[in-house]
Amino acid sequence: MTARVARASAAPPVAQRPTRRQRVVDATLIAIALLYTAWNGADPSSYPAIPDWYWPIDIGLGVLAAASLWFARTHPVAVGVLLIVPGTLSLCAGFAVVAGIYRLGSLARPRVAIPIVAAHIVLALPYHWVAPIPDLTWLVWVIVLPLVYALTLSLGLLSRARRQVIEGLQRAALSDRERYSAQLTTLRRDERERIAREMHDVLAHRISLLSVHAGALEFRTKAAPDSDHRPITREEVHDASVVIRENAHLAVEDLRDLLLVLRDADASVSELGTSRRQAQLDDVHGLVDEARRAGQHVEMTFDDAVSRSTRASVQRTAYRIVQEGLTNARKHAPHSPVSIDISGDGERLHVRVRNPVAIGLTQSEIPGFGAGLAGLTERVRIDGGSLSHGLAGGVFALAGDLPMGEP
**Domains, the chain, with CATH or none:** 2-179 (no CATH), 279-407 (3.30.565.10)
Which pLDDT score, from 0 to 100, does residue 291 have? 82
Distances, alpha carbon 320 to alpha carbons 142, 331, 361, 379, in Å: 89, 16, 26, 9
Within 91-238, strands assigned E span: none
pTM for the model stands at 0.50
Percent of the chain with pLDDT over 70: 77
Contacts of 395 (CB under 8 A, 6+ apart): 354, 355, 356, 357
Q: Which of 284, 283, 295, 298 is nearest to 239 (CA)?
A: 295
Within 287-383, strands assigned E span: 298-302, 338-344, 348-356
Report the half-sphere exposure of 285 (CA within 13 A, side-chain side): 5
- Higher pLDDT: 318 or 261? It is 318
DSSP bridge pairs for 348: 403
* Angle formed by the axes of helices 55-68 and 20-41, nearest 10°: 170
- Range among 25-29, 197-201, 299-303 rated most confident: 25-29
In this structure, are residues 114 and 153 in contact, taking their beta carbons and an 8 Å threshold? yes
Q: Which of 100, 68, 72 is nearest to 13 (CA)?
A: 72
Which pLDDT score, from 0 to 100, does residue 66 have? 93
Mean pLDDT, the chain, integer: 80
CA–CA distance, 107 with 87 (Å, rounded to integer): 20
Q: φ, ψ for residue 319 (rounded to 5)?
A: -60, -40
Q: Which of 349, 359, 342 is nearest to 393 (CA)?
A: 359
Q: How confident is the model at residue 234 (pLDDT cuts 50, 70, 90)?
A: confident
Taking the mean position of all CA atoms in its chain, how far away is CA 144? Answer: 55
CA–CA distance, 387 with 28 (Å, rounded to integer): 76
Q: Which of 262, 94, 292 is nearest to 193 (CA)?
A: 262
Q: How confident is the model at residue 139 (pLDDT cuts 50, 70, 90)?
A: confident
Which pLDDT score, from 0 to 100, does residue 329 have? 83
Residue pLDDT, tens place only, 324-365: 888 888 777 777 899 999 988 878 899 999 998 866 555 444
Report the half-sphere exposure of 310 (CA within 13 A, side-chain side): 30
In which element (H, E) is residue 381 found?
helix 371-382
The mean pLDDT of 227-246, rounded to a whole number, is 70
- Answer whether residue 252 shows pLDDT above 80: no
Taking the mean position of all CA atoms in its chain, how far away is CA 66? Answer: 50
Which pLDDT score, from 0 to 100, does residue 220 have? 65
Which pLDDT score, from 0 to 100, does residue 106 have? 93
